[in-house]
A and B are shown apart, each in its own frame.
Chain A
Amino acid sequence: MIYEKFIKILYVDLETKKIKIGKRPDLCEYLGGVGVATKLLEENLRPELDPYDENQPIVFAIGAASTVFPVITKTVAMFRSPLTGELGESYAGGRLALTLFLAGYDAVVIRGKAEHPSYLTITRNNVEIKDARALWGMTSDEAGRVIREREPGGGKRSIIRIGPAGENLVRYASVCVDTYRHFGRLGLGGVMGSKNLKAITVVGDRNLPVNNFKEYFKIYQEIYKKVTDTEIMSKYHDVGTPINVEPLNAAGALPTKNLRQSVFEYGDNISGESFVKKNLVRKMACTGCPVGCIHIGQFRREFDKGHDYEAVSVGYDFELIFALGSFLGVKTSDEILMLIETVEELGLDAMSTGVVLGWATEAFMKKIITENETIVPLAFGKTDNYIKAIEYIAERKNEFYSALANGADFASDKYGGKDYAMTLGKNEISGYHTGYGAIIGAAVGARHSHLCNGGYSFDQSMKEFDKDNLVNAIFAEEKERCLLNSLVICLFARKVYDRKTIQAVLGSIGQTYSDDELTAIAERIYKAKIRIKKSLGFNQMDVKLPKRFFETQSASGLLDEKTAYELMLMYNNKVQEMMTKP
């Protein structure tokens, strides 16, 4: 906690209804955010139990400088992922970090299972577990609306909630944060569902005077100017991440139709510019961010016969356009927004949902599954049937959709088609078929996300492919991101927050660290993550790379399977070497 020499933790047991507050000076050596959350997960995790066992913890944490500086806006959640069975780590913006900060908590640890559907309210002076039986079954949007009306604190409040997918324990169910942000990946929504926890509200209303305002304001202004007056962040505000559709498609790096192609013939229809021209109606920002990268698009929906229409607004970004657009052969921005709206309402991770459906569509085409399983015929570009299929996943409609609800890796184990089930470490892929960096980055990443180390970006920035350079770059970035995520900086601003800036930020709030000390913190966090993964039975060399990666041209040409495995081994050796060091 800022200006304090300890980390303040709120412990909530949903079963016994016991609430405890802990102050832990020892956790300061993990700085905050992902560092503290990793350590708390390690302490509270029960590796021998299922991810949905009520004794498994959920940990939320903010960082040492959360929301006090521009673009330090995120909250990290850690848990045992029901999708991968190993490290669950997910980030969300919105107002959650600010409200936790102003409620006075660095971290929250939730354990146990409520006896009936409940929601948790957290304020500075009070924590309550309230009845949510009337909310059970509601969409994310409906639940948010009811809680907004029922609970005080508007303007200083964050509401996070799950939809029906989380209640039905879909293994990639998401958690909606303040309507437009999410803990999207790896199934936190399912873990909340397994605890009968429909929602959490946090109200932060304390006032915290800034010590040494002059120094603080000087650093703040420098960062603010860098963020707003230079080109570093301008694309994020302008077209937003959907700007990537055009260059990735031109480069032959846009996974299309379950990565049967890497160029989408309708790419121009779903480019960032197309969304801007046809759908963009508003931009928003997380609290504490001057960028405003959240792009809200609108589409028209007929809600009744007789020309009765409504305008539906929904957030969009690149990964969603990839997963529910090109990956499913969906040709228009309106249709993509309709699919996003469906996953939003039901509370699913858009990326996993799209990639799972890509596998299902190809499996259907190859006749390893039939309409007996799929109920509706699945075909690339057929949006109406995809909407139905998404609803079936969320409700686990039949045995087949229940398998899909467990992820593409599980479904392909059961039905076949492993070679084109596009997962890495059991997590569905992201939208970059750029080269070895993208594949290996996610395969070795602690949570198998493209955000672990930005492997895809090295495919772009490295002039020539060199195995050692690539592995070293991914390893260095994975570690550095442990530091960035301990603060918890939005990774879009990672170029703003270089080491010097991080030192200045921490120094201005009374925390002085040398460069070496920050490196040591980053490594300490990474080692803790590796320990957790090992305790959960993870072995890097067990990760299988789907053959489809090596059958479809990437932006770096046709990739060689043997080389990819060699890179993974090289990375694994580096990790083992790190773990043997004191």
Chain B
Amino acid sequence: MIIYIELSEWFKRYTDENTRFEIELKPGITALQAIISIGIPETEIGLITVGDTKVAHDHILAHGDKIRVYPIIIGG
């Protein structure tokens, strides 16, 4: 299945400056696994949305899903 991933600018350091990906994955894969597969460290992954909906990291993706990934919130 085809999944589209759009990354927040912060993640460019892990992806040779790319922020948009179209990747082919096996069915049954989670949002987290998909994002890790393009080289983003798990510890850096915060909020994930599919379309406009916030999803859990273990959300099972479907063909054509458009994921957006945000960095983890930091602070004291």
Contacts and interface: CB of A to CB of B under 8 A. Distances in A.
Interface stretch (A44-52, A146-154, A302-310, A449-457): A449-457
Contacts of B8: 246-247
Nearest to A276: B9
Given A246-B8, A251-B54, A460 B73 contact: yes
A247 B47 contact: yes
A273 B71 CA distance: 13
A456 B47 CA distance: 14
Interface string A458-497: 0010010000000000000000000000000011101000
A228 to B, nearest CB: 15
A457 B46 CA distance: 11
B28 interface: no
A365 interface: no
Nearest to A481: B76
A316 interface: no
Interface string B65-76: 000101111111
Contacts of A318: 75
A555 B54 contact: yes
B18 to A, nearest CB: 16
A243 B74 contact: yes
Contacts of B43: 231
B64 interface: no
Interface residues of A, number: 30
B68 A250 contact: yes
B73 to A, nearest CB: 5
B44 interface: yes
A241 interface: yes
Contacts of B10: 235, 238-239, 243
Nearest to A484: B76
A494 B41 contact: no
A456 B73 contact: yes
A236 interface: yes
A492 B74 CA distance: 8
A351 to B, nearest CB: 13
B47 A243 contact: no
Contacts of A239: 10
Contacts of A252: 54
B76 A247 contact: no
B70 to A, nearest CB: 4
B12 to A, nearest CB: 10
A258 B54 CA distance: 24
A236 B9 CA distance: 15
A483 to B, nearest CB: 15
A572 to B, nearest CB: 24
Given A231-B41, A231-B44, A250-B47, A454 B76 contact: yes
A248 interface: yes
A247 B54 CA distance: 11
A244 interface: yes
A432 B56 CA distance: 19
Interface residues of B, number: 19
Given A231-B41, A239-B10, A247-B70, A457 B47 contact: no
Contacts, number: 61
A231 B46 CA distance: 15
Contacts of B54: 251-252, 555
Interface string B47-69: 10100001010000000000010
Given A235-B71, A247-B71, A492 B76 contact: yes
Contacts of B47: 247, 250-251, 555
Nearest to A432: B73
A570 to B, nearest CB: 24
A529 B48 CA distance: 39
B75 A247 contact: no
A555 B49 CA distance: 12
A399 B31 CA distance: 55
Nearest to B44: A231
B19 to A, nearest CB: 11
Contacts of B70: 246-247, 250-251
A247 B46 contact: yes
Which of B10, B49, B70, B74 has the most chain A CB atoms closer than 10 A to its own CB? Answer: B74
Interface in B18-42: 41
A522 to B, nearest CB: 17
A494 to B, nearest CB: 7
A235 B74 contact: yes
A460 B47 CA distance: 8
Contact of B46 (A454, A460, A463): A460
B28 to A, nearest CB: 20
Nearest to B9: A273
B49 A457 contact: no
A241 B74 CA distance: 6
A257 B7 CA distance: 28
Contacts of A235: 10, 71, 74
Contact of B73 (A231, A248, A490): A248
Contacts of A454: 75-76
Contacts of B74: 235-236, 241, 243-244, 492
B36 to A, nearest CB: 15
Interface of A: 231, 235-236, 238-239, 241, 243-244, 246-248, 250-252, 273, 318, 432, 434, 450-451, 454, 456-457, 460, 463, 490-492, 494, 555
Interface of B: 8-10, 41, 43-44, 46-47, 49, 54, 56, 68, 70-76
* 10 pairs of A and B residues whose beta carbons are closest in the complex: A491-B76, A247-B70, A451-B76, A251-B47, A273-B9, A247-B47, A244-B73, A247-B46, A235-B74, A250-B70
21 contacts: A231-B41, A236-B74, A243-B10, A243-B74, A244-B73, A246-B8, A247-B8, A247-B47, A247-B73, A248-B73, A250-B47, A250-B70, A318-B75, A432-B73, A434-B73, A454-B76, A457-B75, A460-B72, A460-B73, A491-B76, A492-B74
